[in-house]
């Protein structure tokens, strides 16, 4: 019995991935539950394991892009034991049938398949010089291709004119001023997804700013007791998650998505929180954020950040988000226009807190301010709704007592 190894579904917005490395090679025996290869997508890398014991037959190369559902290997649970026996049985049958037939005649055009004949004619090969590995010594397509490659390999050193050193020197100057290297499979996938998002949605960004004074004061006042009670620090992200949920309830379209000619409205609040890692940006999802306490939110976010850094995020932890929050402020970003996380309709961008002079009741005062950015799919959300969303978020941050404070 054999089992096909297929690429599993890894998220509603992911159509393909990259086989980054095979942990088991073609022809090796594998055990059930043993990692076969690592699959990389723009969201996460994950190990695909064997479903049964058996011998592995790979059908995809390392670095190859594969689609969801594509067969990349086969595991034959009887291959290791049956292989030699089958060979022994076939050998007596393969050699006796035509003992008197000369070798050259067995390779005549009468026994060559159309595919083999085409390769031989195009490459101008001599069938008599090719050793056939098929039944009865017949030449297979693989034999013909191998003979062609072998001939080219032998001929290559004789033609020094084909050496491409001048071209390489232009790409990588000897003075070291330029270094060229191939993008990693994950980075290439991220690039493809970002371009796809720009091409498939009508992305527009609107801005606002919020005064962080009240949140900073509340956080400083409650920090010691909060940390002692819950064993984790109270950060800013939990405030923004709560404020975003309140705003999504006010402007429901931002919590939905477009599917073909339909609009799907989500009546739950699974908020993606973007986390930067050395390998790229990932967006783990906080489930039912509207039902969680501040402590639960901070704990989930901290746990996701740790897993992301260690590369231990599970695929299911990245699936099904309805809205995303990205905090470029931790890197010093003052203002940006975040790109949508398909198929979502909105993403909120947080930024660096900076003291700036602002007018309050006719007087100029210095306050800790943060710019907010909302990128949204204009096909699903109108400008008025987008502005209303940011105003609601601003209200929640500047007047945190309007949020469901539970500490």
Cis peptide before 343, with omega less than 30 degrees from 0?
Answer: yes
Which stretches within 114-272 are classed as H helix? 114-123, 141-155, 165-171, 185-200, 213-230, 237-250
- Which positions of the chain have pLDDT values less than 50? 79-96, 98-110, 158-172
Question: Any idea where the domains of the chain sit in the sequence?
Answer: 2-79, 95-163, 201-402
Q: Give me the phi and psi of 388, to 5 degrees please.
A: -60, -35
pLDDT of residue 278: 76
pLDDT of residue 223: 96
- Which one, of 84, 96, 108, lies nearest residue 135 by Cα? 96
Phi-psi category of residue 94: left, alpha or beta, with phi > 0 → left and psi -120 to 50 → alpha: alpha
In 244-390, the DSSP E strands lie at: 256-259, 262-265, 271-273, 275-277, 280-282, 285-286, 323-327, 346-350, 354-360, 363-377
By the 8 A CB rule, do 119 and 145 touch? Answer: yes
Angle at 296 between CA 312 and CA 402, to 5 degrees: 135
Please write the tens of the pLDDT for every residue from 147-206: 776 765 555 554 444 444 444 433 445 568 898 887 876 677 778 878 988 999 999 999
- Which one, of 291, 272, 286, 281, lies nearest residue 346 by Cα? 272
Please write the tens of the pLDDT for every residue from 56-111: 999 999 888 898 899 999 999 864 444 443 444 444 444 445 444 444 444 444 46
For domain 95-163, say whether CATH 2.60.40.10 is its number.
Answer: no
By the 8 A CB rule, do 245 and 290 touch? Answer: yes
- Joined together, the tokens standing for residue 373 give 């950015």
In angstroms, the CA 348 to CA 243 distance is: 11
pLDDT of residue 353: 97
Residue 335: exposed, middle, or buried by beta-carbon count in 10 A (0-12, 13-18, 19+)? middle
pLDDT of residue 11: 60
* Candidate CATH numbers 1.10.599.10, 3.40.50.920, 3.30.559.10, 3.40.50.720; the one for domain 201-402: 3.30.559.10
Q: Which of 77, 230, 270, 378 is catalytic?
A: 378
Q: Give me the phi and psi of 125, to 5 degrees please.
A: -95, 155
Establish whether 378 is a catalytic residue: yes
349-373: b or e for each residue (b if 16 or more CB lie within 10 Å)? Answer: bbbbbeeeeeeeeeeeeebebbbbb
In angstroms, the CA 295 to CA 395 distance is: 22
pLDDT of residue 286: 97
CATH for 2-79?
2.40.50.100
- Joined together, the tokens standing for residue 388 give 């209303």
By the 8 A CB rule, do 59 and 84 touch? Answer: no
- Joined together, the tokens standing for residue 356 give 């700036």
pLDDT of residue 125: 80
By the 8 A CB rule, do 337 and 373 touch? Answer: yes
Which strand (E) or helix (H) includes residue 331? none
Q: How many Cα neighbours within 13 Å face the side chain of 190?
A: 15
Q: Do domains 95-163 and 201-402 have the same CATH topology?
A: no
- Which one, of 366, 362, 382, lies nearest residue 374 by Cα? 382
pTM over 0.75: no
Q: 381: which residues sit within 8 A by CB, 6+ positions away?
A: 251, 253, 254, 345, 346
> Between helices 294-310 and 237-250, what is the axis angle to 10°?
110
Q: Which of 108, 121, 288, 382 is catalytic?
A: 382
């Amino acid at each position: 019995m054999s089992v096909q190894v297929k690429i599993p579904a890894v998220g509603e917005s992911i159509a393909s991935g990259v086989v980054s490395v095979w942990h088991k090679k073609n022809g090796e025996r594998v055990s059930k539950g043993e990692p076969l290869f690592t699959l990389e997508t723009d969201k996460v890398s994950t190990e695909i394991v064997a479903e049964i014991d058996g011998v592995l037959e790979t059908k995809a190369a390392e670095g190859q892009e594969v689609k969801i559902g594509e067969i990349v290997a086969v595991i034959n649970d009887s291959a290791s034991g049956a292989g030699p026996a089958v060979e022994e049985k076939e050998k007596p049958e393969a050699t006796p049938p035509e003992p008197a037939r000369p070798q050259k005649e067995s390779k005549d055009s009468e026994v060559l398949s159309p595919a083999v004949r085409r390769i031989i004619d195009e490459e101008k090969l001599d069938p008599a010089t090719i050793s056939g590995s098929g039944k009865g010594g017949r030449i297979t397509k693989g034999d013909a291709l191998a003979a062609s490659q072998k001939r080219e390999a032998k001929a290559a050193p004789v033609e020094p004119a084909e050496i491409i050193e001048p071209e390489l020197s232009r790409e990588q100057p000897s003075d070291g001023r330029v270094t060229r290297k191939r993008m990693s499979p994950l980075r290439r996938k991220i690039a493809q997804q970002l371009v796809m998002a720009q091409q498939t949605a009508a992305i527009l960004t609107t801005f606002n700013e919020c005064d962080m004074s009240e949140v900073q004061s509340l956080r400083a006042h409650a920090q010691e007791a909060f940390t002692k009670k819950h064993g984790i620090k109270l950060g800013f992200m939990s405030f923004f998650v709560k404020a975003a949920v309140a705003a999504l309830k006010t402007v429901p379209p931002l919590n939905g998505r477009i599917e073909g000619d339909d609009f799907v409205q989500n009546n739950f609040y699974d908020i993606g929180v973007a986390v930067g890692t050395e390998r790229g940006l990932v967006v783990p999802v906080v489930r039912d954020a509207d039902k969680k306490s501040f402590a639960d939110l901070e704990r989930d976010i901290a746990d996701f950040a740790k897993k992301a850094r260690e590369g231990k995020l599970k695929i299911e932890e990245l699936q099904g988000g309805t809205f995303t929050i990205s905090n470029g402020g931790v890197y010093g970003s003052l203002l940006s226009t975040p790109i949508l996380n398909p198929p979502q309709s909105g993403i909120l961008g947080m930024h660096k807190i900076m003291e700036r002079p602002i007018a309050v009741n006719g007087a100029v005062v210095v306050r800790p301010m943060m710019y907010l950015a909302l990128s949204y799919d204009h096909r699903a959300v109108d400008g008025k709704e987008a502005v209303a969303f940011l105003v609601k978020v601003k209200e929640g941050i500047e007047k945190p007592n309007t949020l469901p404070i539970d500490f």
